[in-house]
Amino acid sequence: MKKTLFLTLSLLGCLYTGFSSQAQVFIVDTGSIFNQDSIDTQRIKVQYEMTYLQDTVSENAKPSQETLMLEIGKQYSKCYSYNFYVRDSLLIADAQAGASKETMLQHAAAIGDSRISYQIFKHYPAGKVTTLDRLATTNFLCEEKEEMPEWTVLPDTATILSYSCQKATCRFKGRNYTAWYTMEIPISEGPWKLYGLPGLIIKAEDDKKHYTFSCTGIEQCKTPKPILINLKGREKVSRPNLNKMYERMAKDPMSFIASTAPNVKVSVTDEHGNPMKSFSIPYNPIELSE
């Protein structure tokens, strides 16, 4: 059942977008786009196709897909949605050209919503992982101690994207992963929070195939480009509390928005245009409790 959410905002500097089932609520916060700081310089940019299954109950449920960008610098890395990469680049260009907010909204809507709203900075600050996310109208910052997966390297080999790869397995954040990495790119990095092998992870998936990351492109950055982060105006939250908010949001998005963003009016209708009082979103987080 498709649902549409319209947000009426009294917030300056924000635009609003639509909302569909099996997605989070996204508000285009221009402040977080334009007020970013550089923390490193990109050496390699990697693109992954992420396939994930949110609904593990319905027999006819189909997996969702999202393209991720991994920017790798000398010290830090940043993993986030490609849609955000395209949207932010376009909105910055619009702002520099003096475009109106209406035009910016049209451009953001044309790109479409990203189901993956988080940005993950590995090794930032030193010895930690920083996750930035936005739920309703609040920007969150979650800083955790860095945890490297304990990999078991296996003798199996394969060729993926013309790279010679080797197999490795681990148990990490409640899931069993199989990864293929290449020594031809001797950088200990990978999608999401996966890293720690002696080469770039080209493909990884958990044993239930709920989450799969497949590399679709690798670019050596010849022109210096910054890795950007915006820590301004963010509410610090622990990982357990952030997970609780994700769960609350999935169980009842309307109630969550009403309790965390009282200045936002929510209107939800079904495919026939009938108003809905509540609904839930299938929830199958990538990080599980052991």
Radius of gyration of the chain (CA): 19
* Ranges 49-58, 138-147, 248-257, 270-279: which has the least confidence: 270-279
Residue with the bigger pLDDT between 268 and 189: it is: 189
Please tell me the predicted confidence (pLDDT) of residue 1. 42
Residue 122 predicted with pLDDT over 90:
yes
Average pLDDT over residues 164-169: 98
> What pLDDT sits at residue 8?
34
**Mean per-residue pLDDT, 98-121:** 79
User: The whole model's pTM is what?
Assistant: 0.84
- pLDDT of 19 reads 35
Q: For the chain, where are the alpha helices, taking DSSP H only? A: 30-34, 82-96, 101-111, 239-251, 253-260
Question: Which residue has better confidence, 216 or 16?
Answer: 216
Confidence band of 244 (pLDDT split at 50, 70, 90): very high
105 has a pLDDT exceeding 80: no
Amino acid at position 107, single letter: H
Q: How confident is the model at residue 113 (pLDDT cuts 50, 70, 90)?
A: low
Q: Which helix (H) or strand (E) holds 62?
A: none
Q: What CA–CA distance (Å, rounded) separates 242 from 236?
A: 10
Q: Using CA atoms, how far apart are residues 21 and 249, in angstroms rounded to an integer?
A: 12
Cα distance between residue 159 and residue 166, in whole Å: 9
Residue 22 token pair: 């099996």
Residue 277 confidence class, pLDDT cut points 50, 70, 90: confident
What tokens appear for 209 in the block?
């195939």
- Confidence at residue 103, expressed as pLDDT on a 0 to 100 scale: 80
